[in-house]
């Protein structure tokens, strides 16, 4: 028998009561070699920041291995690597910042190789379900050019998925709507 799924509902404005953890915005333990930051802001369709967003990030380690719940694909050997970060605060200003390491390439469909990427879930008041996007890295030109997912995105919109390198980290903004609307996926 196949059961029906429980429907999604909005995370609402008050998730900060329960969902933030002290170590939430860190996908790696403090002091991990190669740590980078990824920071940016979330904007709505009027170009206003979304102060009550909740973002989650999921990624492989630099060897392309995950810290999967059940060890799928061979567990990450990077000490303390969680691969998951969550950013959401009670009194937000629309921005976010996480600490992580750059992921490695990950197998894709039909023997392809995916460029380094981070899966992102976007939640907020006014969003009845999450929106899913991906962060790619603008300085991975060759890998990005061969990435099957990026190649499935209309060329003119691919730049919305690219985090731009800055000193010690990367900048990535999310636009829920509007002329720079971020590419969102269905999976």
Partner 1 sequence: MTEEAIEPRRIYDDVNDTPTSYRREPAEAHPPLDYPPYKSTAFRHPKQPLIYLPQTATEVTGPRLGEGELGELDNDLTRQHEGEPIGERIVVSGRLFDTEGKPLRGTLVEIWQANAAGRYLHRWDNWPAPLDPNFSGAGRCLTDDEGRYQFTTVKPGPYPWGNHYNAWRPAHIHFSLMGRAFAQRLVTQMYFPGDPFFPYDPIFNSVRDPAAQQRMVANFEIHDTVPNWAAAYRFDIYLRGPGSTPFEEAH
Contacts (CB under 8 A) with partner 1, residues 105-144? 105-110, 113-114, 117, 119, 121, 123-132, 134
Q: How far is CA 43 from CA 95, 153, 163, 182, in A?
A: 9, 21, 16, 10
Q: Answer yes or no whether residue 31 interacts with partner 1 by CB under 8 A.
A: no
Partners of 83 in beta bridges: none
What are the two backbone dihedrals, phi and then psi, of residue 17, each rounded to the nearest 5 degrees?
Answer: -60, -40
Q: How far is the CB of 12 from partner 1 (least distance, A)?
A: 6
Q: Which of 36, 37, 146, 184 binds partner 1 (CB under 8 A)?
A: 184
Q: Are strands 169-171 and 35-43 parallel, antiparallel or unpaired?
A: parallel
Residue 163 CA to residue 6 CA, distance in Å, equals 34
Q: Which of 31, 70, 142, 155 binds partner 1 (CB under 8 A)?
A: 70
User: Could you give the string, one character per residue 86-105, with x where binding to partner 1 holds by CB under 8 A and - elsewhere?
Assistant: ----xx-------------x
Residue 123 CA to residue 6 CA, distance in Å, equals 17
**Beta carbon nearer to partner 1, 30 or 46:** 46
Q: Answer yes or no whether residue 16 interacts with partner 1 by CB under 8 A.
A: yes
Centre a 10 Å sphere on the Cβ of residue 144 and count the other Cβ atoms it contains.
21
Q: How far is the CB of 31 from partner 1 (least distance, A)?
A: 19
- Write out the H or E segment, with its range, that includes residue 142: helix 141-145
Q: Which stretch binds partner 1 (CB under 8 A): 31-39, 80-88, 94-102, 136-144?
A: 80-88
Q: How far is the CB of 19 from partner 1 (least distance, A)?
A: 6
């Amino acid at each position: 028998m196949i059961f029906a799924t429980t429907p999604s509902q909005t995370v609402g404005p008050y998730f900060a009561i329960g969902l933030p953890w002290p170590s939430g915005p860190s996908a790696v333990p403090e002091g991990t070699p190669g740590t980078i930051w990824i920071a940016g802001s979330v904007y709505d369709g009027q170009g206003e920041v979304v102060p009550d967003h909740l973002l989650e990030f999921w990624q492989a380690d630099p060897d392309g291995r995950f810290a999967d719940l059940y060890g799928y694909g061979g567990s990450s050997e990077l000490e303390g690597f969680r691969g998951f970060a969550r950013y959401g605060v009670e009194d937000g200003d629309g921005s976010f910042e996480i600490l992580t390491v750059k992921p490695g390439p990950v197998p894709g469909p039909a023997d392809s190789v995916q460029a380094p990427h981070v899966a992102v879930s976007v939640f907020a008041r006014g969003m009845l379900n999450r929106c899913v996007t991906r962060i790619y890295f603008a300085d991975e030109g060759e890998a990005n050019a061969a990435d099957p997912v990026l190649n499935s995105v209309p060329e003119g919109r691919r730049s919305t998925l690219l985090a731009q390198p800055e000193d010690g980290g990367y900048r990535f903004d999310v636009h829920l709507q509007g002329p720079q609307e971020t590419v969102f996926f269905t999976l």
